[in-house]
Amino acid sequence: GYFYSRWRKCIWSSHDLSDNVFIDNYIFNKDVYIQFNSTLGKYVGYTKHGVYNAELWNNNTGQLQSERAQVDICKHNADVYQQTITDKS
């Protein structure tokens, strides 16, 4: 059979969350074929199919705005996690 998954993650390392990055991976059979990275602000394709979809999705302004908005959600959640961690230490 085939295996499809989507991994979304927020990455940050500083307390002020200025380096917060949102990454949205589309994976088929354990290989990332397309990825949205908030640092770039667009989709990047890593296979022929991924490049094709990245071009389509990058031309869809609504979809790009939705992905870019995820950074704000990441920052909010990261702030909550950061406060929870520092309150307990």
Note the pLDDT of residue 89: 58
Q: Over the stretch 20-55, which tens digit does the pLDDT of each residue have? A: 899 999 999 999 999 999 999 999 999 999 999 999
Max Cα-Cα span within the chain:
48
Note the pLDDT of residue 81: 80
Return the H-helix or E-strand segment holding 84. helix 61-88
Give the chain's mean pLDDT.
Answer: 90
Question: What is the rounded distance in angstroms from the CA atom of residue 71 to the CA atom of residue 5?
Answer: 21
